[in-house]
Amino acid sequence: MTLEGTNTYIYGENPCLVIDPGPGHPEHLEAVRRAAAERGGAEAVLLTHSHRDHAEGAPALGLPVVLPTDGERHGGLTAVATPGHAADHVCLLTSDGVCFSGDLVLGEGSTIVPPDGGSLTAYLQSLRRLQQEPLILICPVHGPWITDPAAKLEEYVEHRLMRERRLVAALDSGERSRAALLAAAWDDVPEELRPAAAHAMEAHLQKLDGEGRLPGHLSD
């Protein structure tokens, strides 16, 4: 689920900042140390959120570890609160339009919004907040860089709304079985990805419930 792994970023110099050092793999952490040393040494680790694949390796670097809050500035980076994938998620923005997006936006595919600890409502609000920023580049922690941020953000919003429309249509037809709802709204998802799709559906159902749009009791 992390595509080709976790992208760790070294930002700035004399000193630099380490963004999302990733899991505690010794070889990866040694590469981070070398890259930081080449930039005059690191003063801190910044996390976009506290999930293990982003944060596990941080203590081994022996640096202060910071999970910024909205509006905090660190070495030319400004934190923007972007909850949804995780309640503590932030993106880190430079003054010239680069966004270190954590898991809000991936280089490939779509982000999981877990039904426990996440919020699809908050996630969509976070995407729309980034749409207000004059971004020229998105650097995700999983997958390749995104060189057309506006198009990607619009794609992400529309993807979620498309799933919601299909789910609501199935509910409006009278369907109350989770299995049937999944088959109706995620029929284009390969079988091996159905468990992830089921988690995504629960996030949608929670959103609809919170908005008073979930009709009746659902069965498995």
What single DSSP character describes residue 219? Answer: B
Q: Is 148 a catalytic residue?
A: no
The closest alpha carbon to 135, from 104, 161, 160, belongs to 104
**Residue 11: strand, helix, or coil:** strand
Query: Which tokens is 204 given?
Result: 């949608």
**Over the Cα atoms of the chain, what is R_g?**
19
Is there a contact between 205 and 218 (Cβ–Cβ < 8 Å)? Answer: yes
Q: Which of 20, 53, 88, 172 is catalytic?
A: 53
Is there a contact between 78 and 49 (Cβ–Cβ < 8 Å)? Answer: no
What single DSSP character describes residue 191? Answer: G
CA pair distance 133, 153, nearest whole angstrom? 11
Active site (catalytic) residues: 53
